[in-house]
């Protein structure tokens, strides 16, 4: 009797490992349409997606995504994700798109389906307010400690740009950590993206003694929305984004968050 029970247990375990290997034939967009909602993967990152004091989600991307989803006739369902896991979240269908100021790169284009670029961004230097003058020139940067998020566009600038040839590079594990390094005087300059710095360096934050060196910027980049590879949703969203731009709504949202200068998608 005991042996039979044990044998059964083994079988159940084996079967449960293999269970549920079916596959659906519906296209990506049809699945989203049937669900009635598009799950939007994002991180909290001012001014793109952030929470107001009352806990409500708002920001440029939040409003833009809502407007596009309205155009598509589905509900926008925002899911906060861990940015490092965005690709795995997307391919495991926990989210339907990554919509959070994501820079379009060739590698990402290869692995995901990416929408038309809608906004532009650039890398800027952030330093202590009193050092802004000093670090505006190549001579000033000589011997300075420069930090950026490892693997980010900022790192490429710090390592590759001629401007930093005689500076010393120290990696940080996030853009905010890079700013923290500057604040703690362990680094002199942080290279972060401009959109991020608008949200973070403001009066009243711990970073209010830091400032952007406005006179110089590096490696312009473009933002896009990422979908699963070969997804038919990309085309639908591209059309809807253009409609939102044509109606003037996109500019209206960008105005609200001071991002109008960076907008790429214009009304035709």
Partner 1 sequence: MTQFFDVTLRLLEGFKENCFLFGMTLLMALPLGLIISFGSMSKFLPLKLLCRAFVWIIRGTPLILQLFVVFYIPPMLTNGDFSIDDRMTASLVAFVINYAAYFSEIYRGGIESIPKGQYEAGYVLGMKKSQIFFKVVLLQVIKRIVAPMSNEIITLIKDTSLARVILVEDILKYAEDYTRVNGLIWPVFYSGAFFLLFCGILTLLFRFIEKKLDYYKG
Please give the residue ranges that form the binding site for partner 1 (CB under 8 A). Answer: 2-3, 6-7, 9-10, 13, 19-24, 31, 44-46, 50-51, 80-82, 85, 88-89, 91-94, 174, 176, 179-180, 183, 200-201, 205-208
Comparison of 10 and 264: residue with beta carbon closer to partner 1: 10
Least gap, CB of 190 to partner 1 (angstroms)? 13
Number of Cα atoms under 13 Å in the Cβ half of residue 124: 19
- The residue among 8 and 264 lying less far from partner 1, judged by its C-beta, is 8
CB closer to partner 1, 5 vs 268: 5
Q: Minimal distance in Å, beta carbon 263 to partner 1?
A: 24
Task: Give how far the C-alpha of residue 195 lies from the chain's centroid of Cα atoms, to the nearest Å.
Answer: 10
Does residue 121 contact residue 191 with C-beta atoms inside 8 Å?
Answer: no
The first and second tokens of residue 102, run together, are 């994501």
Tally of helices (H runs) and strands (E runs) in the chain: 11, 11
Nearer to partner 1, 134 or 183 (CB): 183
Backbone angles phi, psi at 103, to 5 degrees: -75, 135
The minimum distance between CB 199 and partner 1, in angstroms, equals 8
Nearest distance in Å: CB 21, partner 1: 6
Residue 20 C-beta: closest distance to partner 1, Å: 4
Please tell me what DSSP assigns to residue 92: T
Closest CB to partner 1 among 35 and 159? 35
């Amino acid at each position: 009797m005991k042996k039979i029970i044990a044998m059964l247990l083994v079988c159940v375990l084996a079967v449960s490992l293999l269970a549920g290997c079916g596959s659906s034939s519906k296209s990506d967009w049809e699945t989203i349409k049937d669900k009635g909602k598009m799950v939007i993967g994002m991180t909290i990152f001012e001014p793109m997606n952030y929470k107001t004091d009352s806990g409500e989600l708002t920001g440029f991307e939040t409003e833009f995504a809502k407007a596009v989803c309205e155009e598509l006739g589905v509900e926008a369902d925002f899911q906060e994700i861990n940015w490092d896991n965005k690709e795995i979240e997307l391919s495991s269908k926990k989210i339907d798109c990554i919509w959070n100021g994501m820079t379009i790169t060739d590698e990402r284009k290869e692995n995901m389906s990416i929408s038309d670029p809608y906004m532009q961004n650039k890398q800027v230097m952030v330093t202590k307010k009193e050092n802004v003058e000093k670090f505006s020139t190549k001579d000033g940067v000589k011997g300075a400690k420069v930090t950026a998020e490892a693997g980010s566009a900022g790192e490429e600038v710090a390592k590759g740009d001629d401007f930093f040839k005689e500076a010393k590079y120290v990696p940080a594990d996030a853009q905010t950590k890079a700013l923290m390094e500057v604040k703690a005087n362990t680094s002199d300059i942080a290279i972060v993206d401009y959109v991020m710095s608008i949200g973070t360096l403001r009066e009243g934050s711990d970073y209010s003694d830091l400032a952007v060196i406005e006179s110089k910027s590096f490696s312009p980049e473009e933002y896009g929305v990422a979908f699963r590879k070969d997804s038919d949703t990309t085309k639908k969203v591209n059309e809807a984004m253009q409609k939102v731009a044509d109606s003037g709504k996109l500019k209206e949202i960008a105005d609200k968050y001071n991002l109008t200068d960076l907008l790429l998608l214009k009304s035709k």
